[in-house]
């Protein structure tokens, strides 16, 4: 009787995704805004369920390795520990300087910036091994500007916080005003004098403080707050001196994701997330989810976890990402920013979605949001 050798089955392709994150401040204006302990990483974990569902049919497995970085800590030691475990794909929520340190230290890895909104990491300080799923400040500001201009709210009173990130966000709104033809009637700075944001400036003092901070402004249509540090903007609605709407960091807010978003099948993702984590999905959760899903989709198509192979595929015309926003998402090749619609939310529902109707572009209407290719300072190989 002839005996036939059975070929050995190949080992499954095991893909490790590293999550590097800096835990965000838990001091917020509202207790409803205190970040969950698993903020960001929960989104990545949800994506791994989807990646592994597909992977079971393709003999691929995905796992997550997490490391937290303290505010005053160099991330490279934690990064080396993940690399020693075989991680070459990273989903990162770190400030700009630490993001760049990770990208430069792990130059053979592929890093997904799912947290930092800084323009410079997409422009003068861009890196070939960094893909951005978080929108930039310019994208968020432009999304709000398109809507405000459509409402004919052209006169803006801009109040900017005193922290560096607040000023960068204020610069983004100033640029958006110039781009779309709005007029900033005045720019004011709100100084952060410290103290407990809820105990020291709660319902007793906030009305008086906000009224004083916003009175005697030139006539305006909308007050725009640039308060990335979450010091004062949450107190502005219904407390500003003039009877005007508030937008930006409070009131009508531009965001990549909101718990109230349910269109285009998003309610399915929202429900799944709530069942798994007993809370609502935040923008950071979603940005991490998109990054990990992009990895899963690329690995499934290329049957490889090689960072260069995946990057090349994501930059190709064949690649599209999905995020329940009504259209496929693709990369801007000049800076590797993920094109995406921006939601305009008021804390209870979605008021609108940008890009707004009527804003056209020769390549993609999504490129009306943020710096376009002729404006970029990024030089990628």
pLDDT tens digits, 284-324: 999 999 999 999 999 999 999 999 999 999 999 999 999 99
Crossing angle of helices 283-302 and 307-314, rounded to 10°: 100
Residues 78 and 20: their CA atoms lie apart, in Å, by: 8
- What percentage of the chain carries pLDDT values higher than 90? 88
State whether 129 and 198 are in the same domain. Answer: no
State whether 118 and 149 are in the same domain. Answer: no
State whether 311 and 272 are in the same domain. Answer: yes
In a domain, 360, yes or no: no
Range of the domain at 229: 138-255
Average model confidence (pLDDT) for the chain? Answer: 93
The region, left, alpha or beta by phi > 0 then psi within -120 to 50, assigned to residue 265 is left
On the question of pLDDT at 3 being above 90, the answer is no
On the question of pLDDT at 82 being above 80, the answer is yes
* CATH value at residue 71: 3.40.50.2300
State whether 238 and 96 are in the same domain. Answer: no
Average pLDDT over residues 222-243: 95
- What percentage of the chain carries pLDDT values higher than 70? 94
On the question of pLDDT at 27 being above 80, the answer is no
In a domain, 351, yes or no: no
State whether 45 and 190 are in the same domain. Answer: no
Of 230, 255, 280, the last residue of a domain is 255
Number of domains the chain contains: 2
Q: What angle do CA 273, 342, 116 make, to 5 degrees?
A: 75
Choose the weakest-confidence range: 82-96, 146-160, 186-200, 309-323. Answer: 186-200
State whether 129 and 149 are in the same domain. Answer: no
SS3 107: coil
Q: Is the separation of the CB atoms in 176 and 182 below 8 Å? A: yes
On the question of pLDDT at 202 being above 70, the answer is no
State whether 167 and 308 are in the same domain. Answer: no
């Amino acid at each position: 009787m002839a005996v036939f050798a059975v070929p050995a089955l190949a080992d499954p392709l095991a893909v490790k995704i590293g999550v590097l994150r800096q835990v965000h401040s838990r001091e917020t204006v509202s207790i409803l805004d205190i970040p969950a302990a698993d903020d960001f990483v929960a989104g990545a974990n949800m994506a791994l369920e989807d990646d592994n569902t597909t992977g079971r049919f393709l003999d691929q497995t995905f796992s997550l390795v997490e490391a937290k970085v303290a505010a005053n800590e160099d991330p490279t030691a934690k990064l080396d520990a993940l690399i020693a475990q075989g991680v070459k794909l990273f989903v990162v929520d770190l400030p700009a300087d630490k993001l760049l340190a990770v990208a430069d230290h792990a130059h053979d890895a592929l890093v997904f910036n799912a947290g930092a909104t800084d323009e410079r990491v997409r422009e003068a300080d861009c890196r070939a091994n960094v893909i951005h799923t978080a929108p930039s400040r310019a994208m968020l500001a432009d999304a709000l500007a398109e809507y405000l201009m459509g409402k004919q709210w052209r006169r803006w009173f801009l109040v900017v916080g005193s922290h560096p990130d607040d000023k960068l966000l204020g610069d983004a709104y100033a640029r958006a005003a110039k781009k779309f033809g709005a007029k900033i009637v005045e720019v004011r700075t709100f100084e952060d004098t410290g103290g407990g944001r809820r105990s020291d400036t709660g319902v007793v003092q906030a009305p008086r403080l906000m009224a004083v901070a916003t009175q005697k402004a030139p006539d305006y249509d909308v007050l725009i707050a640039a308060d990335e540090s979450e010091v004062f903007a949450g107190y502005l609605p219904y407390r500003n001196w003039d009877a005007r709407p508030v937008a930006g960091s409070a009131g009508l807010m531009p965001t990549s994701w909101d718990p109230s978003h349910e269109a285009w099948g998003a309610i399915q993702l929202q429900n799944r997330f709530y069942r798994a984590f007993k809370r609502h999905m935040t923008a950071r959760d979603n940005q991490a989810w998109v990054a990990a899903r992009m990895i899963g989709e690329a690995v499934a198509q290329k049957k490889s976890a090689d960072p260069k192979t995946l990057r090349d595929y994501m930059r190709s015309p064949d690649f599209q990402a999905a995020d329940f926003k009504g259209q496929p998402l693709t990369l801007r090749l000049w800076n590797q920013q993920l094109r995406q619609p921006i939601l305009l939310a008021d804390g209870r529902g979605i008021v609108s979605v940008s890009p707004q109707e009527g804003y056209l572009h020769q390549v993609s209407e999504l490129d009306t949001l943020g710096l376009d290719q002729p404006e970029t300072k990024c030089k990628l190989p």
